Amino acid sequence: MHYLDQGPLLLPDAGLGIVGTMNWYDYSWAIDRLRAEVPDWEERLRDKRFTRGRHNDGKFVRWALDDVGFTTRVVRAFEQHLTAALEQVSQVLVLTHHPAFYALGFPREQPPVAPDGLLWDAFCGNATLEAVLARHAGRIPLAFSGHIHRARSATLGPIQGHNIGGDYHCKRLLIADWSLAGGALVTAHDFGDLAR
């Protein structure tokens, strides 16, 4: 067991580190469109209120920080851990709970629709962590995320990203095979009722 929010896991013999964060959201993936298209956007963000229902974070998360302040804090810590790890190893795997970059968020065939689609984007991740990853992308072969309960694969430059997916009724296990020259092959194994 290694608690990644406190520091990276280093495997110097393999030249590899694992850096992780819970990550959070600061509305940056949707704020411009929310301001332009949703008249009561400030109240909706504050209350985490959709047209029907409310985001569970608005019901259950209780802390002194606001979302923007907490996101700033966790991204700053992540970047410090990433920098420290890259001083000691040649490559780093990234693990996050909230999606590490936008393309690992909710799957859509078209841009999000206001207000609910934009609110989901606002509450999904943040552009700051994505920018940190982009700056170090040449040394991050893989990033794994969760949170959205949907399987996704996407890239951010050379970073191969995967949102693990799974839900309460089904689980997914991703296995990275490092034996291939030039990268890793990631395979998924599903367990449970996927049709539900």
Residue 157 scores a pLDDT above 90: yes
Is residue 173, in this structure, part of any structural domain at all? no
Mean pLDDT of the chain: 93
Task: Give the distance from CA 162 to its chain's centroid.
Answer: 9
Residue 185 lies in a domain: no
What is the band of 179 on the pLDDT scale with cuts at 50, 70, 90?
low
Which residue(s) pair with 155 in the sheet? 160
What's the average model confidence in pLDDT over 129-139? 98
Residue 181 confidence (pLDDT) above 60: no
Cβ atoms of 132 and 75 within 8 Å: the answer is yes
Instruction: Tell me if 183 is assigned to some domain.
Output: no
28 located within any domain: yes
Residue 193 inside a domain? The answer is: no
pLDDT band, very low/low/confident/very high, at 178 (cuts 50, 70, 90) = confident
pLDDT attached to residue 167: 85
**What is the arithmetic mean of pLDDT over 5-17?**
95
Which residue intervals of 114-170 are DSSP H helices?
Answer: 116-122, 127-135
Question: What's the whole-number mean pLDDT along residues 26-55?
Answer: 96
The count of domains in the chain is 1
Structure tokens at 94: 């990234």
Least reliable range by pLDDT among 24-28, 122-126, 152-156, 166-170: 166-170
The predicted-structure confidence for 81-104, as pLDDT tens digits, reads as follows: 999 999 999 999 999 999 999 999
Range of the domain at 48: 4-168
| Residues paired with 128 in a beta bridge | none
Q: Would the pLDDT of 175 be above 70? A: yes
Is 180 inside any structural domain?
no
In degrees, to the nearest 5, what angle opens at C-alpha 149 toward C-alphas 116 and 110? 45
The kind and range of the H/E element at 41 are helix 41-47
d(CA 122, CA 67) in angstroms, rounded, equals 10
Which residues, at least 6 apart from 17, have a Cβ–Cβ distance to it below 8 Å? 8, 9, 10, 11, 85, 86, 88, 89, 91, 92, 93
Contact 18, 8 (CB under 8 A): yes
Check whether 122 has a pLDDT greater than 90. Answer: yes
Domain presence at residue 43:
yes
Is 88 domain-assigned? Answer: yes
Looking at residue 164, its pLDDT comes to 94
Whether the model pTM is above 0.85: yes
